[in-house]
Amino acid sequence: MANEKLLEIKDLHVVYHTDEDDVYAVNDLTLSLDKGQTLGLVGETGAGKTTTCLSILRLLPDKIGEVTGGSIRFNGKDILDISEDEMRDIRGQEIAMIFQDPMSSLNPVYTVGYQIAEALKYHSTEYKTEQDIEKRVEEMLALVGITPERKNDYPHQFSGGMKQRVVIAMALACDPKLLLADEPTTALDVTIQAQVLKLINELKDKLKTAVVLVTHDLGIVAETCDSVAVMYAGTVIEGGPIETIFGGENHHPYTVGLFGSIPNLKVKTKRLSPIEGLMPDPADLPKGCAFSPRCPKCMDICRTTEPPKVFEGEHMIKCHLFNMNKEVEA
């Protein structure tokens, strides 16, 4: 199964057209994911992680969000080129998404069983009869650790963690090939976070679903992902297999800053070294490297010229520091 590409995004550009400005939310983004694998999409708020997921589902806000360049290939098909009808078949059935806040994904006036059944009726080609759907609803609730009898309960009768389990059951009911999990644990207590992540991991193994896990938490990535893409100002500035990102020696200065911002209980005397400054305004990105105003290693060239993508095997760093005697992609 390894090396069988499920998702390939190449040179993606997304712009939001607002009354005041054009906001460059995703800029020249390239990433890929193999079948059955988990990719951690990491970065600060505003890095373009959610916009990337919405672009994959073609759910950018109508008339405001626009893909202005690049391609998104899913299972060999360029999903930016297919009709809306074809895309509707892919959504839910082949690609599903879990959002941050479970309450925004559940309708308070319908039972959870009804809502999982609706997802099946709308998206599934496999579960068509009332009996099949009923059975699948119960099966999915059991799979996420909820007793099937609770299918007749309403969302307000569940805790935050249980609601997120229902949302996961809903997302996975149609056996999607790809699950986009957009900060699925951010709205939950820490103890519940661990349970939900464990559940996503177990289900991924059981159902062979590939996962894009959006998070700003490197600890979560270390425990759950096979590869990592670190995003900054709408683009991937470093990416590669988990061992390379967590174990390798060469890193993009922003990735170094991210690691420096995590508490390390083994090193008692070390103070945390947060990254100074803020993410640039996506409506007014700096020339050259977008990280240059915050980068402790910034050179003259960084303020004028966009850095190339430098590859060493599967490890990619987009930074002038590494652009020496290496494989480079403009």
* Interface positions with ligand SF4 (CB under 6 A): 252-253, 289, 291-292, 295, 297-299, 302, 307, 319-321
Choose between 171 and 275: whose C-beta lies nearer to ligand SF4: 275
For the chain, count helices (H), then strands (E).
10, 13
Look at the alpha carbons of 160, 164, 170, 173 in this order and tell me if their dihedral is positive or negative: negative
Choose between 163 and 294: whose C-beta lies nearer to ligand SF4: 294
- Could you tell me the smallest distance in angstroms from the CB atom of residue 244 to ligand SF4? 18
Choose between 107 and 304: whose C-beta lies nearer to ligand SF4: 304
Which of the 8 DSSP states describes residue 59? -
- Could you tell me the smallest distance in angstroms from the CB atom of residue 282 to ligand SF4? 17
């060239």: which residue's tokens? 301
**Cα 324 from Cα 53, distance rounded (Å):** 33
Choose between 17 and 297: whose C-beta lies nearer to ligand SF4: 297
Choose between 69 and 286: whose C-beta lies nearer to ligand SF4: 286
Look at the alpha carbons of 324, 325, 326, 330 in this order and tell me if their dihedral is positive or negative: positive
């709408």: which residue's tokens? 234
Choose between 211 and 295: whose C-beta lies nearer to ligand SF4: 295
**Cα 57 from Cα 182, distance rounded (Å):** 13
Asked whether the beta carbons of 133 and 116 are under 8 A apart, the reply is: no
Choose between 49 and 252: whose C-beta lies nearer to ligand SF4: 252
- Could you tell me the smallest distance in angstroms from the CB atom of residue 319 to ligand SF4? 3
Burial class (CB in 10 A: 0-12, 13-18, 19+), 103: middle
**Cα 144 from Cα 165, distance rounded (Å):** 6
Contacts of 65 (CB under 8 A, 6+ apart): 14, 15, 16, 25, 51, 54, 55
At residue 205, the 3 state secondary structure works out as helix
- Could you tell me the smallest distance in angstroms from the CB atom of residue 298 to ligand SF4? 4
- Could you tell me the smallest distance in angstroms from the CB atom of residue 291 to ligand SF4? 4
- Could you tell me the smallest distance in angstroms from the CB atom of residue 47 to ligand SF4? 14
- Could you tell me the smallest distance in angstroms from the CB atom of residue 183 to ligand SF4? 25
Which strand (E) or helix (H) includes residue 46? none
């007793």: which residue's tokens? 147
Choose between 204 and 309: whose C-beta lies nearer to ligand SF4: 309
What's the token pair of residue 250?
């060469």
- Could you tell me the smallest distance in angstroms from the CB atom of residue 295 to ligand SF4? 3
Which strand (E) or helix (H) includes residue 171? helix 160-172
What's the token pair of residue 114?
């009804």
Which of the 8 DSSP states describes residue 274? P
- Could you tell me the smallest distance in angstroms from the CB atom of residue 286 to ligand SF4? 9
Closest Cα partner for 303 from 316, 312, 313, 293? Answer: 293
Choose between 160 and 260: whose C-beta lies nearer to ligand SF4: 260
